[in-house]
Amino acid sequence: MFNKETYIKRRSELKKLVKDGIILLFGNNESPVNSPANSYAPFRQDSSFLYYFGQKRDGLVGVIDVNEGTEMLVGDDIDIEDIVWFGSVDAVKDLAAQVGVSHSAPMKELKNICDKAIKSNRKIHFLPPYRADIKIQISDLLGIHPNAQKEAASLELINAIVKMRSVKTQEEIEELERAAIIGYKMHTTAMRITKPGLTEKYVAGQLEGVANSYGSMVSFPIIFSQHGEIMHGNPSMAELEAGRLVLCDCGGETMEHYCSDNTRTFPVNGKFTQRQLDVYNAVVEAHDAALALSKPGMKYADVHFEICRIIFDRMKELGLAKGNTQDAVAAGAHAMFLPHGLGHMMGMDVHDMEALGQIHVGFDAETRPNLEQFGTNCLRMGRRLEEGFVVTDEPGIYFIPALIDEWRAKKHCAEFLNFDKLDEYKDFGGIRIEDDILITADGCRFLGKDRIPYHAKDVEEYINA
């Protein structure tokens, strides 16, 4: 964990932002795979709990009384049976002291704390729960039905945490740089070992081993598929075939659970065809344009739509699209090729703070999401960039047979798309290139000291070295 002064400072700032009431930050409990004693490993703590209380043990709740200025770590000490199997663990009071918290209590005391606050008509702040066991705990403590807890969650607490976690401190940036090293090792391993005859699942398994070897775990389930047109294509037992492209989207978490998230698309046999290059280079152009545009004060939604215009122009050059580019993007025709947003916040969660609600994380009072237009409704990040933000830059071009057929049947955006030509690309797959960027005082920069190859010539040279 970081130095305890980091957590003291974070909780102090949180109290200033929330101003009144009692804050409950629930840590995670162990999650069983198929029996109570067989849980998923490694244990993953809730990110907001980690941010303010730092401890990775299960079964903990952080309590902050904003008015009284007091803080408490609540949880039960483990018993001798657990010690026999898992070894000695620090007492809760010692865990509290390690992060600068002077009070601790057993879990049964949390009910008394909540009952007293409710009786005094005090505001109790909690975040939207995403695990069933925490929903049951909140129901027992506060009498709020699980179905109503998302709406009952504290907007003041959500906004305060988003404000703090969005801007990365120097120690967080250093941790993200470590995560980038893991991501580099994962992706270059994929490029080195991929060859015809191996299965998608075999390569993905090797990458997961890299993540586990150098850090805590993968930052999300690995995407490794010859069907790059499927946004989140799980690796299958399909054998890799010469002449096809494979899309690899993966990243790792450090021991402090800061993430990396990169995507590369490359030819299974190490050599792009001309048709693949035509599309690939359009994605490279969009990726690099986003780097040039991203800086403090720039709306990421504006960067997104500029990338959409670049992609649509290149598709016109290939005969796949037609018409006025500005009008086409306004109508949503670009989503035939790019049905997702340019990127998202990243930090302790790969989609940083996603559990708090994307509308609070990626948007603000000035910039609101468009939930009506296909493709644009998947934009996760639209607000103005600030120095210290970490976002992903991940344009792509995809040829999705079902989407081509549906839009043709409905004549959707027919004035902007050449469906006969699109039919010729139904076997193409998809291409995405993704990097993690830090917004600096006057622009942005890549995270990570080494660049995963992504320009076509560099990719081919690296694979064939």
Which of 166, 192, 223 is the last residue before a domain boundary? 166
Tell me: do 194 and 106 sit in the same domain: no
Tell me: do 149 and 216 sit in the same domain: no
Tell me: do 158 and 198 sit in the same domain: no
pLDDT, average across residues 52-68: 97
Segments forming the whole domain that contains residue 141: 4-166
pLDDT, average across residues 382-386: 98
pLDDT tens, residue by residue, 30-56: 999 999 888 888 999 999 999 999 999
Alpha-carbon separation of residue 427 from 53, 158, 226, 369, 404 (angstroms):
50, 44, 10, 33, 12
pLDDT, average across residues 423-440: 98
Q: What share of the chain is helix, strand, coil (3-state, %, to 5)?
A: 45, 15, 40
Residue 133's pLDDT band (boundaries 50, 70, 90)? very high
pLDDT at 80: 85
Is the pTM higher than 0.75? The answer reads: yes
pLDDT at residue 200 is higher than 90: yes
pLDDT, average across residues 403-408: 98
pLDDT at 239: 98
Tell me: do 56 and 189 sit in the same domain: no
pLDDT at residue 311 is higher than 90: yes
Tell me: do 356 and 249 sit in the same domain: yes
pLDDT tens, residue by residue, 318-359: 999 999 999 999 999 999 999 999 999 999 999 999 999 999
pLDDT at residue 363 is higher than 90: yes
Tell me: do 255 and 378 sit in the same domain: yes
Which of 109, 143, 166 is the last residue before a domain boundary? 166
Q: What is the CATH number of the domain that holds 50?
A: 3.40.350.10
Tell me: do 86 and 199 sit in the same domain: no
Tell me: do 137 and 241 sit in the same domain: no
Tell me: do 157 and 210 sit in the same domain: no
pLDDT at 36: 85
pLDDT at 37: 81
Tell me: do 123 and 243 sit in the same domain: no
Tell me: do 246 and 155 sit in the same domain: no
Contact 252, 211 (CB under 8 A): yes
Domain count for the chain, please give it. 2
Provide the token pair at 421.
Answer: 């030509």
Residue 70's pLDDT band (boundaries 50, 70, 90)? very high
pLDDT at 69: 94
Residue with tokens 């120690």: 171
> Which residues have CB under 8 Å from 465's CB, separation 6+?
none
HEC states along 93-158? Answer: HHHHHHCCCCEEECCHHHHHHHHHHHHCCCCEECCCCCCHHHHHHHHHHHCCCHHHHHHHCCHHHH
Contact 96, 73 (CB under 8 A): yes
pLDDT at 73: 98
d(Cα 289, Cα 309) in Å, to the nearest integer? 11
Residue 32: CB atoms within 10 Å: 11
pLDDT tens, residue by residue, 138-165: 999 999 999 999 999 999 999 999 999 9
Which of 118, 140, 166 is the last residue before a domain boundary? 166
* Mean predicted lDDT score pLDDT of the chain: 96
Tell me: do 364 and 377 sit in the same domain: yes
% of residues, the chain, pLDDT over 70: 100
pLDDT tens, residue by residue, 209-244: 999 999 999 999 999 999 999 999 999 999 999 999
Provide the token pair at 331.
Answer: 């109508």
pLDDT, average across residues 101-127: 97
Q: What is the CATH number of the domain that holds 189?
A: 3.90.230.10
Provide the token pair at 175.
Answer: 């941790």
d(Cα 435, Cα 451) in Å, to the nearest integer? 9
Surface-to-core class of residue 302, CB atoms within 10 Å of its CB (0-12 exposed, 13-18 middle, 19+ buried): middle
pLDDT tens, residue by residue, 270-308: 999 999 999 999 999 999 999 999 999 999 999 999 999
